[in-house]
């Protein structure tokens, strides 16, 4: 059985938004890196005031492109 990281960022939709889930729960839609980072802070995965490292494969799985893929 494949083990996925706690955060999954779905492929971009036709309007460019990417659905973000944490532990299988939808926490919001993001239109850019900053919004993904904010959702991770809200979910308690990144402490306030700290920079979110969005390029951690053990934390985030980017589907349909990487952290630079936005439409």
Q: Which pLDDT score is estimated for 47?
A: 87
b or e along 5-44 (b: 16 or more beta carbons within 10 Å of the residue's beta carbon)?
eebbbbebeeeebbbbbbeeeebbebeeeeebbbbbeebe
* Number of domains into which the chain is organized: 1
Q: Quote the pTM value.
A: 0.91
Q: How far apart are CA 53 and CA 71, in angstroms?
A: 21
The answer to whether residue 42 is domain-embedded is: no
CB atoms within 10 A of CB 51: 7
| Residue 19 lies inside a defined structural domain of this protein | no
- What pLDDT tens digit does each residue of the chain (71 aa) get? 667 899 999 999 999 999 999 999 999 999 999 999 999 999 999 988 889 999 999 999 999 999 999 98
The position carrying tokens 């299988």 is 24
Residue 58: predicted pLDDT: 93
3-state DSSP call for residue 35?
helix
Give the pLDDT confidence score for residue 1 in this predicted structure. 64
Domain residues for 67? 1-12+55-71
Q: What pLDDT score was predicted for residue 3?
A: 78
């Amino acid at each position: 059985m494949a083990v996925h990281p706690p955060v999954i960022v779905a492929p971009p939709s036709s309007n460019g938004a990417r659905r973000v889930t944490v532990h299988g729960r939808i926490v919001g839609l993001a239109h850019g890196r900053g919004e993904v980072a904010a959702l991770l802070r809200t979910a308690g995965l990144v402490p306030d005031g700290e920079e979110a490292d969005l390029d951690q494969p053990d934390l985030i799985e980017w589907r349909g492109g990487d952290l630079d893929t936005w439409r």
